[in-house]
Amino acid sequence: MRYPTLFLVVGLSLLLAACSFSASTPATSPAPKADFAGLHADWNTIEPTGDTLCSDGSAYKFYVRQGDPEKLMFYLEGGGACWTGALCDADLQATYTVNLQRSDPARFSGVFDFERADNPFADYTVIMAPYCSGDVHLGDISKFYQSPSVGDHSGHALRIEHRGYNNAQAALRWVYEHLFQPETVFVTGSSAGSIPSPFYAVELARHYPQSRIVQLGDASGGYNTMASFTPYESWNLDTVLNRTGLLAGVVQEEFNFQLLYEAAAKASAGISFASYDTAEDAVQKQFLALGGSPVESLQTQLDDNLRVISSAVPKFRYFVAGGSVHTVLLSPNFYKYKVGETLLMDWIGRLARGESVQNQHCVDCTIAEIVN
């Protein structure tokens, strides 16, 4: 008759012990995916410390717009380039953005139109690295040039801070400190920001080895080796590339921007690479002429470059629209351009989501096809 009582006492003891253990051991909460403390809605301006400068010695800054912490866009702004005294002197017809006095990401459309329901990046966390160093975001040198005498303009010594690499690194450091493990990282840029995007895709892939890394260059596919282009001497580009292990041993005379795709693919085989261009991009033709290698038609050289990259990088895809308009990502044309039945915004959206896309090339390349 005493056994039921004994069982009851033991059962109550076990129940009390379980309740005590549960009360003293709270459930483990999931690790945070990002630290957005202090950020407000829309664009935030970040003013970094360290060796960051615009070309004229003024302060650098970058911009952050918080969104889904598992989706990151790292965008490199365009804005020309310079590598001689004549091209770099702001008192002449400078071929690049000198400083950030007028910088404002809110003025752009395209992928930065976050109110559009059909924007494939509407919910992304976006870091915009603006551009003011004249070195396609890859320079690291305080360079002295001799500005020429032109008309009433007297020739003089000119100091340019080519610190694009340091500026971009400051933006990357913020990313690394505040986004812990994004699922998708979309690395892109337009014009001068398109050129280094394969390079920075590798940087991000090395930091986030578990993330899906997708790269897209907007409007730089037509460049090739240029006769009077001196990025090693002017920007210290070879030191930057050697520092990261990309293109070590390539001499200046052999360097061209398309090699960055090949080197990046070798360094990080898991990255998906892509490019967008118009067949007769007027600005690319302008800079080829400034570099001493003018072309009457860009399309022939562009198509040759795309074939070379495609043969070396199996995961590379391209979209070539008709016409001569330079860049598309921050333009309303992002939602309008198409090739055949393929809309550019859908093609880029599928690319970002890791879906399979096919190469798209205009047939009549004299003018872009527009969605009705």
DSSP string, 292-317: T---S-HHHHHHHHHHHHHHH-TTEE
pLDDT over 70, % of the chain: 92
* Residue scoring higher pLDDT (147 or 167): 167
Does position 24 have pLDDT exceeding 80, yes or no? no
Judge whether 115 lies within some domain: yes
* Max Cα distance, the chain (Å): 117
Instruction: Write the CA distances from 329 to 114, 290, 348, integer angstroms.
Output: 13, 25, 10
Domain that holds residue 284: 35-370
What is the number of domains present in the chain?
1
Q: In what order do the strands lie in the sheet with 342-343?
A: 342-343, 337-339, 369-370
With cut-offs at 50, 70 and 90, classify the pLDDT of residue 28: low
Judge whether 25 lies within some domain: no
State the pTM of this model: 0.91
First to last CA, the chain: 90
Are 126 and 132 a contacting pair, CB within 8 Å? no
Judge whether 1 lies within some domain: no
Q: What is the Cα–Cα distance from 133 to 48, expressed in whole angstroms?
A: 16
Judge whether 74 lies within some domain: yes
Judge whether 150 lies within some domain: yes
Judge whether 7 lies within some domain: no
Chain segment 279-319, per-residue pLDDT in tens: 999 999 999 999 999 999 999 999 999 999 999 999 999 99
| Strand residue runs (E) in the chain | 43-46, 62-65, 68-76, 124-129, 141-147, 156-162, 184-190, 212-218, 273-278, 316-321, 337-339, 342-343, 360-361, 369-370
Please name every residue paired with 185 in a beta bridge, in sequence order, or none if there are none. 72, 213
Chain segment 64-100, per-residue pLDDT in tens: 999 999 999 999 999 999 999 999 999 998 899 999 9
Does position 27 have pLDDT exceeding 80, yes or no? no
Q: Which CATH number covers residue 138?
A: 3.40.50
Does position 10 have pLDDT exceeding 50, yes or no? no
State residue 13's pLDDT score.
47
Judge whether 17 lies within some domain: no
